[in-house]
């Protein structure tokens, strides 16, 4: 299936100069939605994670169904002030602006193998900060998975050593 035909390009969102790769058409079509989750699950199964972490908010949309398919637990990485229990925090640079992410300190037992999922890797700052949060819990990053990689931004170079799975490259 041509998954790219289900990605919509929105120029100058959320600010001038950014070409936003919109995954909502991919999710709205049941065939492309199921196909993308099934393909994603096939490609990351060999990593044998104990947990999946999804990054707010589009990482939830792919991370949760993947966790369900792989039969592993899920933990959300969220924007500041959203998680109710004690958190670890990490601040990072985004393609547009700065932000902080948080993860519950007890999201998974120390020593877990954690697969980090988001819809898209641009500069890699978001995923690298999430990896730092996973490490702070005493767990290991088993890998990273993204629906889309913006190759020219070289986000992979910012990630710690771990397998990276992507479904689409631009
Ligand atoms: P980065 O930290 O630069 O890798 O940015 C990745 C995060 O920002 C992901 O959570 C994406 O959802 C979002 N993002 C960054 N650039 C884009 C883009 N061009 N289109 C859609 N989402 C983007």
C-alpha 103 to ligand 1 mean position (Å): 19
Q: Kindly report, residue by residue over 81-117, the tens digit of the pLDDT.
A: 999 999 999 998 775 678 999 999 999 999 999 999 9
Residue 5 placed within a domain: no
For residues 145 and 27, give the distance between their C-alpha atoms in angstroms, rounded to a whole number.
Answer: 17
125 within ligand 1 shell (Cβ under 6 A) = yes
Q: Kindly report, residue by residue over 26-63, the tens digit of the pLDDT.
A: 999 999 999 999 999 999 999 999 999 999 999 999 99
Residue 41 placed within a domain: no
Residue 89 placed within a domain: yes
Residue 54 placed within a domain: yes
DSSP 3: G
What pLDDT, on a 0 to 100 scale, did the predictor assign at position 96? 62
What pLDDT, on a 0 to 100 scale, did the predictor assign at position 67? 98
CA 1 vs CA 31, 65, 167, 169: distances in Å: 9, 19, 11, 15
By alpha-carbon position, which residue is closest to atom 5 of ligand 1? 122
Domain of 57, in residue numbers: 47-169
Q: Return the HEC string of 119-140.
A: EEECCCHHHHHHHHHHHHCCCE
Instruction: Copy the structure tokens of residue 59.
Output: 């990482």
Residue 104 placed within a domain: yes
Q: Kindly report, residue by residue over 146-168, the tens digit of the pLDDT.
A: 999 999 999 999 999 999 999 99
C-alpha 114 to ligand 1 mean position (Å): 21
For residues 44 and 166, give the distance between their C-alpha atoms in angstroms, rounded to a whole number.
Answer: 10
Instruction: Give the pairing type, strands 98-104 and 19-22.
Output: unpaired
10 within ligand 1 shell (Cβ under 6 A) = no
pTM for the model stands at: 0.97
Backbone angles phi, psi at 111, to 5 degrees: 90, 0
- Atom number in ligand 1 closest to CA 158: 4
- CATH code at position 150: 3.40.50.2020
Residue 7 placed within a domain: no
Tally of domains in the chain: 1
Q: Which residue has the tokens 């910012």?
A: 158
């Amino acid at each position: 299936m041509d998954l790219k035909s289900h990605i919509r390009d929105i120029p100058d969102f959320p600010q001038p100069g950014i070409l936003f790769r919109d995954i909502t058409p991919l999710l709205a079509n049941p065939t492309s939605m199921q196909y993308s989750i099934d393909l994603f699950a096939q490609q990351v199964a060999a990593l044998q994670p104990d947990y999946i972490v999804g990054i707010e908010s589009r990482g939830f949309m792919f991370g949760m169904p993947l966790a369900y398919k792989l039969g592993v637990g899920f933990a959300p990485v969220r924007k500041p002030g959203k998680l109710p229990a004690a958190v670890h925090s990490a601040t990072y640079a985004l393609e547009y602006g700065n932000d902080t992410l948080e993860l519950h300190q007890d999201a998974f037992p120390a020593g877990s193998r954690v697969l980090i999922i988001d819809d898209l890797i641009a500069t890699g700052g978001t995923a690298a900060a999430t990896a730092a949060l996973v490490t702070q819990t005493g767990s290991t990053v088993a890998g990273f998975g993204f629906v889309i990689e913006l190759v020219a931004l070289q986000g992979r170079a910012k990630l710690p050593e771990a397998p990276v799975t992507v479904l689409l490259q631009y």
